[in-house]
């Protein structure tokens, strides 16, 4: 169940024993809320409609899916003009009349499709695999493009998440497709930045997995997904505690060369950077990146994510050295052409790498140019038109939380009156050497 709160008072509902409407299966925390919802909350008007839609969970999933498809098609409208679906060959879906989407790494005229066609294709392939007891379940078709073999992202991932959940939610709780669909929905909500909704689904998923007793690896994946959402919600300490536990358990279970271990190491480093523990983040990634080079394909997106995480730890650290900056630039220059070739220039990962590379180069250039003053030098700072104030340089390459990412002021200056200011540029128009006092 992903409807885990009472629709009247929003209280958390027990997974199996909550009171429910006998007709449509809408669940409540108790009889009082059920009565209130019927008499004043509009449930008397919706009950038959929800029942005809398959019950509360199915009705909600169908509604959310329809809304997500509209959002995805609108977001992709400019990119899909004049194109047709590579599955059904039509511009508009014959039944739903929905528009086209493309949220993978396909380029040119490839990869355009209707969400409904992608969902039906995935459903058929998974069903064929189940029927024939194949080792390859084809489950990846719910989240990976069959043409470019890269994951869907953003609002397209969200729409496919709802499509997946509405397809399998009616199966028994212990059926693998049902709990995998719940996980797919959580990832889709996360990809489309619906963080609170994603967390609710992920916590319901983890609760389900604990009840049915899945293998440890599945539990660790679910736990890692929750930690991802904690990070995005700014709950960094909770995320780190969960990540460190998950990472250590993957190490024991699969060793340091397994993809899930590498993925969790990367996520752990990101959380450490969020907490400004840059030295720990750098040490972890410098240990694991050589392992990733050895065991992962050059085009694996985890290779890109690890380098981006390392670049962040190197560049955001206030104690960074010139060697750190050169390492960051070199690392991004190495992966940028591969990301562009594999994912395309419009992919979020490629765009992120190019943005980070530009910022790292700018910081490196500024740091390689020697500053005119050192700590302790007396200077005058421009405080406005024809207004200069005397002070002493107390710090080089100063930064603070309000600065744009990657920006460092050449100097922090303590003015003689006691205020602390920073010089944003090492130029005479901003800061000058104080003239020595005239001899008496």
- Write out pLDDT tens, residues 308-349: 999 999 999 988 888 999 999 999 999 999 999 999 888 999
Full strand arrangement of the beta sheet holding 431-433: 420-423, 409-415, 387-398, 378-384, 431-433
| Domain 70-368 of CATH type 1.25.40.10 | yes
**pLDDT confidence of residue 143:** 96
- Say if residues 86 and 62 touch (Cβ distance below 8 Å): no
pLDDT recorded at residue 26: 83
383 or 249: which carries more pLDDT confidence? 249
**Mean pLDDT to the nearest integer, 345-359:** 91
Residue 440 pLDDT greater than 70, yes or no: no
Greater model confidence, 25 or 283: 283
pLDDT at 1 over 80: no
Q: Is 201 exposed, middle or buried (CB count within 10 Å of its CB: 0-12, 13-18, 19+)?
A: buried
pLDDT band for position 37 (cuts 50, 70, 90): confident
Instruction: Give the least confident one: 38-52, 122-136, 386-400.
Output: 38-52
Mean pLDDT of the chain: 91
Neighbours of 124 (CB within 10 A): 12
Residue tagged 């998923």 (tokens): 205
**pLDDT on residue 169:** 92
Find the mean pLDDT for residues 270-289. Answer: 96
What is the average per-residue pLDDT within 43-59? 81
pLDDT above 70: residue 196 = yes
Q: What is the pLDDT of residue 47?
A: 83
Instruction: Tell me phi and psi for residue 16, to 5 degrees.
Output: -125, -25
pLDDT at 178: 93
Question: Is the pLDDT confidence value at 433 over 90?
Answer: yes
Residue 2, pLDDT score? 66
pLDDT at 403: 84
Q: At 42, is the pLDDT very low, low, confident or very high (cuts 50, 70, 90)?
A: confident
Q: Is the pLDDT of residue 407 over 90?
A: no
Maximum separation of any 2 CA atoms in the chain, in Å: 100
pLDDT over threshold 80, residue 9: no
22 pLDDT band (50/70/90 cuts)?
confident
Of the listed ranges 32-36, 232-236, 351-355, 404-408, the one predicted with least confidence? 404-408
Least confident range of 25-34, 76-85, 293-302: 25-34
What tokens were used for 318? 């206030």
pLDDT at 393: 96
The whole-number average pLDDT for the span 155-162 is 97
238 or 397, greater pLDDT? 238
Give yes or no for residue 242 having a pLDDT over 90. yes
The strand pair at 431-433 and 420-423 is best described as unpaired
Of these ranges, 15-24, 44-53, 237-246, 382-391, the one predicted with the greatest mean pLDDT is 237-246
Whether 174 and 214 have beta carbons less than 8 Å apart is answered as no
φ and ψ at residue 385, rounded to 5 degrees:
-55, 120
pLDDT confidence of residue 246: 96
> What does the pLDDT read at residue 4?
67
Tell me the sheet residues that pair with 101: 113
- pLDDT of 189 strictly over 90: yes
Helix axes 195-212, 216-232, angle to 10 degrees: 160
Beta bridge partners of 387: 384
Indicate the angle between helix axes 154-168 and 56-75, nearest 10 degrees. 160
CA 257 to chain centre: 23
pLDDT above 60 for 362? yes
Q: For 91-120, what is the mean pLDDT?
A: 94
Domain ranges of the chain: 1-52, 70-368, 378-433
């Amino acid at each position: 169940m992903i409807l885990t709160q009472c629709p009247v008072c929003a209280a958390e509902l027990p997974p199996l024993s909550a009171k429910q409407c006998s007709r449509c299966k809408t669940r409540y925390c108790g009889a009082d809320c059920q009565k209130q919802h019927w008499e004043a909350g509009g449930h008397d008007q919706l009950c038959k409609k929800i029942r005809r839609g398959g019950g509360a969970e199915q009705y909600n999933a169908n509604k959310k899916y329809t809304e997500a498809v509209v959002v995805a098609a609108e977001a992709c409208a400019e990119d899909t003009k004049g194109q047709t679906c590579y599955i059904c060959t039509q511009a508009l879906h014959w039944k739903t009349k929905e528009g086209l989407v493309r949220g993978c790494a396909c380029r040119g005229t490839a990869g355009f499709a209707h969400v409904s066609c992608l969902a039906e294709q995935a459903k058929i392939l998974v069903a064929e695999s189940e029927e024939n007891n194949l080792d390859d379940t084809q489950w990846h078709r719910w989240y990976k493009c069959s043409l470019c073999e890269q994951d869907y992202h953003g609002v397209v991932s969200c729409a496919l998440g709802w499509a997946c959940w509405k397809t399998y939610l009616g199966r028994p709780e212990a059926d693998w497709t049902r709990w995998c669909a719940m996980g797919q929905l959580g990832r889709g909500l996360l990809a489309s930045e619906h963080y609170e909704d994603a967390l609710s689904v992920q916590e319901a998923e983890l609760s389900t997995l604990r009840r049915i007793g899945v293998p440890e690896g599945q539990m660790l994946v679910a736990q890692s997904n929750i930690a991802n959402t904690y990070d995005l919600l700014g709950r960094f300490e909770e995320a780190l505690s969960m990540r460190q536990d998950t990472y250590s358990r993957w190490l024991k279970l699969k060793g340091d060369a397994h993809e899930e271990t590498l993925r969790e190491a990367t996520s752990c480093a990101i959380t450490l950077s969020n907490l400004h523990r840059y030295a720990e983040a750098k040490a972890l990634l410098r240990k694991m990146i050589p392992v990733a080079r050895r065991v992962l394909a050059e085009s694996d997106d985890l290779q890109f994510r690890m380098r981006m995480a390392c670049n962040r730890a190197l560049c955001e650290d206030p104690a960074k050295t010139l060697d750190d900056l050169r390492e960051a630039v070199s690392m991004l220059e190495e992966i940028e052409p591969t990301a562009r070739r594999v994912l395309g220039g419009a992919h979020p990962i490629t765009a992120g790498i190019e943005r980070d590379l530009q910022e790292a180069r700018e910081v490196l250039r500024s740091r390689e140019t020697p500053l005119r003053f050192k700590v302790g030098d007396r200077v005058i700072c421009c405080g406005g038109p024809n207004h200069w104030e005397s002070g002493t340089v107390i710090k080089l390459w100063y930064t603070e939380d309000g600065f744009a990412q990657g920006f460092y002021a050449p100097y922090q200056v303590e003015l003689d009156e006691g205020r602390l200011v920073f010089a944003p540029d090492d130029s005479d128009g901003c800061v000058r050497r104080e003239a020595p006092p005239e001899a008496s």
